[in-house]
Amino acid sequence: MDAESYQPSEEHQMLREAIRALADEKIAPRAAEADETEEFPWEVYKDLVASDFHAVHVPEEYGGAGADALAAVIVIEEVARACASSSLIPAVNKLGTVPLLLSASEEIKQHYLPPVARGEAMFSYALSEPEAGSDAASMKTRAVKDGDHYVLNGTKMWITNAGVSEYYTVMAVTEPSAGARGISAFVVEKSDEGVSFGAKEKKLGIKGSPTRQVILENVRIPEWRMIGAPGTGFKTALATLDHTRVTIAAQALGIAQGALDYAIGYVKERKQFGKPIAEFQGLQFMIADMAMKLEAARQLTYAAAAKSEAAMHGATVKDLTFFSSAAKCAASDAAMEITTDAVQLLGGYGYTREYPVERMMRDAKITQIYEGTNQIQRMVMARQLLK
CA 119, CA 121: separation in Å to the nearest integer?
A: 6
Beta bridge partners of 188: 168
Beta bridge partners of 172: 184
CA 78, CA 325: separation in Å to the nearest integer?
A: 21
- Which residues are marked as active site? 371
CA 253, CA 368: separation in Å to the nearest integer?
A: 12
Contact 83, 30 (CB under 8 A): yes
Contact 372, 328 (CB under 8 A): yes
